[in-house]
Chains A and B, each alone.
Chain A
Amino acid sequence: MSLRLTTPTALCALLLGLVGLTQIGILGQYEQTFLCTMGIYMILAASLNLVNGYMGEFSCGHAGFMAVGAYTASIVGVILFVGDPNFGPALLPMELAPLAFPVILAAGFASAAVVGLLVAIPSFKTRGDYLAVITLAAGYIVKSALENIEVVGGPRGFMGMKKVTLSIEETFAVPWMLIWIFIGVVLTVWLLRRFVYSTYGKGVMAIHQDEVAAEIMSVNTNHMKLVAFMLSSGLAGLAGGLYAYLIGFVNPASFTILRSTECLVMVYLGGMGSLTGSILAAGIFTILLEFLKPLEQLKWVAIPMLLILLMQFRPEGIMGNRELSDVFPKLKRFYRFK
C-alpha cells in the first residue's frame, strides 16, 4: 500500500473503530456525547482560525453564525420530516431522512455563509478594532433577531429535530451523529487546509501580513475577505447544525458571547494559523471543561486564568503557526498534499 494513502485509511480505521466501540458497548451514551461535543468544538475552532488566525482579523461573533446554522438546519429538518403547527405537516416521509441529512447540514452551511456577508461587507473598509465591533454587533443582532421571531419559538427556543435523528438511529442502529460529526471535522480540516495552502487562498495570509502590500501584489483583498468570511461562517453554521441535531433543542441563550469567547480561547490556545493547533486545543478544551465540572463556577475562573498564564509565558499558543507536520517533518510522507 502506498504511504500516501495512509491518512485516508487511518481516518477510515478511526471512524470504524469508534463505531465498533459503540456497537460493543464500550463507548456509552455519555462518551459519545462527549466525543460529539469535542468534534463540534473542533469545527468551530478550525473555522474561526481561518479568520482570526490566518487572516489576522479579530472576529468575536462566531456564535452568531453557529446560531444561524443551527436554526436553519433545525427548521429545514422539521419542515421536511417532522411537521410543526407553524410550518404545516411533514413534506417527505421519514424514510428519506438518512438521505436528506447532508442536505439539511448544507442548508445550515449556506445560510450561515450568507449571514457571513453581514460581516464581510463592512470588512472591506475597516479592519482591526472596528471590525471586532462589527462582528460583536453582528452576533448580538443574530441573537436578538432569533429572540424576536415567534415562529421559531422566540426566547423559548425551538425543538422537534430530535425525532429525525431518533428515527434514523432506529432504522440503522449506528451512532448517526457521531459519524456525521466525524465527517464534518474531517471535511472542515480538509477544506480549510486545501483553501489556505492553495495559490488562490494564499491571499488570506497575504492580507494578514500586510493588506496594502497584498493589494499592490494583485491580491483582490475584498474578494479574498468575502470568501474567507463566508467559508468561516459557513463552517460555523455546519457546526451549529450538528449541534442542533446532537442536543435536539436550540435556543438563543446557547449562542451568547460566552460561546464566541470559547471559540476565541480555542483558537489562541492552539495557535493562530495552525489547524492542528486548533484541533488539539479544541480537544484539550473539551476535556478541561469536562474534568473541571466539579468546580462549577470556578471552572470559568480557572480556564481564563490558564489562558492568561498562557499569554504571559507562551503567547503564540501551543503550536504557534506551525502544523503538526512542521513539528514532525517525517509525517509529510503520509500526505498526498504537502
Chain B
Amino acid sequence: MLETIIQQGINALQLGSYYSLIALGYCLVYGVLLLINFAHGDIFMVGAYIAFFCATAFLGKFGYIDPGMPGWIVLALTVPLTMLLTSGVGVFIERVAYRPLRLKGANRLYVVITALMMGIVLEYGNLAMLGASRKSFPTLVPRTIFEIGGATVTSLKLAAIVTSFLVFGLLQWIVTRTKLGMAMRAVSYDKFAVPLMGIPLDIIIVFTFFLGSSMAGLAGLLYAMNFPVLDPFMGALVGWKAFIAAVVGGIGDIRGAFIGGFLLAFLEVTVAATFSSELRDLISFTILLGILSWKPTGLFGKPRTTKI
C-alpha cells in the first residue's frame, strides 16, 4: 500500500514537473503582458521536435557529424541548443505577431486570438511539413533505476523533477532578486510609465518570451526523453492543461503556477489510481472548477481593484 502511494506520488511529481515548467512560461508572459499566450503549449511541442532533431543530428543520423559521440555529450549539447532554438521560436512569434498589435494599441483580445491561431499554425504546419508519422526520440543516456521505499524511479524521472524545482528556484530568483526581474514586475504594474523611467520595454518583453519559451523547450526535451513518442498535437492538450493549472494556482504569480502544475498532476494521478484513467479529466477539471469558484483569482492570485 505504502509502496503504491510512493510510486504514484513519484509519478505525480514527474507529471507535475512538465505541467509546472509549461505553466511557468504561461505565467511569466501573463504576468508581464497580461496576455494569455495560447501558443505556449505548441511551443512546448516545437521544443520536443527541436530536441529530437538536435539529438538525431548529434548522433550522426543526418551525416553532418560523425556518429559515435557518447550519449551524455549529445545530451549536454542538446539541452542548451534546444532551449536556445525554442526560445528563438517564441521570440520570433512575439516579434512578428504580438508586437505589431501591441504597438498599435490593439485590444488585448485580438492578441489572444492571434496567439490561439499561432498555436494552430504551429500544430498543422508541423503536421504538413513532417507528416503524421510519429517520431520516436532516441535514447541518449541509459536509464538507471533507483529504489526508494519499494518504489522504482528511473534517472530520467528524477531528472525531470529536479529540473523543474531548479528552474522554479532560478525564475523566482530572477523575478524577485535581479534588476531584470524588477523591470519585469514594473512592466506588469504599469506598462505606460515604464518607458518613461528609462526601462527598455521591448527588451524586457523579449527577455520574458525568451525565458518562457526556453523553459517550454526544456520541458519538451524532458518529456520527449521520458515518453519517447512525438506527435504534432502533443502540446495542445498538455498546454491547455498547464494553462488551467496556472490559472488555478493564480496566474501572475510564479509560485501559483508552479504549485498549480503539481496540484493538477496530483489530482490526475489520484483519480486515475482510485477510479479509472478515463475519468481523469472529468473529475480533476471539476475539482479545479470548484477551486476557481471558491477562489476566483486562484490560490495565490490577488484580486485587482477596478476603478470606474
Contact = CB atoms under 8 A, between A and B. Distances in A.
B124 A297 contact: yes
Contacts of B101: 311-312, 315
B281 A264 contact: no
A121 B296 CA distance: 12
B113 A140 contact: no
A140 B281 contact: yes
Interface string A34-49: 0000000000000000
B308 to A, nearest CB: 5
The range of chain A's interface size is 35 or more
Interface string A203-228: 00000001011001000000000000
Contacts of B297: 126, 130
A46 to B, nearest CB: 18
A143 B297 CA distance: 25
A138 B289 CA distance: 8
Nearest to A212: B308
A152 to B, nearest CB: 14
Contact of B285 (A144, A261, A300): A144
A280 to B, nearest CB: 18
Contacts of B278: 144, 147-148
Contacts of B106: 311, 315
Nearest to B307: A212
A37 to B, nearest CB: 20
Interface in A115-158: 118, 121-122, 125-126, 129-130, 132-134, 136-138, 140-141, 143-145, 147-148
B292 A130 contact: yes
A304 B292 contact: no
A316 to B, nearest CB: 9
Interface stretch (B150-158, B208-216, B239-247): B239-247
B268 to A, nearest CB: 12
Contacts of A141: 281-282, 285-286, 289
Given A301-B125, A308-B121, A133 B109 contact: no
Interface string A247-270: 000000000011001001100100
Nearest to B107: A315
Given A122-B293, A130-B296, A141-B289, A257 B114 contact: no
A51 to B, nearest CB: 13
A183 interface: no
B116 A301 contact: no
Contacts of B308: 210, 212-213, 216
B124 A122 contact: no
16 contacts: A125-B293, A130-B292, A137-B285, A137-B289, A137-B292, A140-B285, A141-B286, A144-B279, A144-B282, A216-B308, A264-B113, A298-B124, A304-B117, A307-B113, A308-B121, A312-B100
Given A121-B293, A137-B244, A301-B120, 14 more contacts: A122-B296, A125-B293, A126-B292, A126-B297, A132-B36, A137-B292, A138-B289, A141-B286, A212-B308, A258-B120, A301-B121, A304-B117, A311-B101, A312-B114
Interface of B: 30, 34, 36, 97, 100-101, 104, 106-107, 109-114, 116-118, 120-121, 123-125, 127-128, 236, 240, 243-244, 247-248, 251, 278-282, 285-286, 288-289, 292-293, 296-298, 306, 308
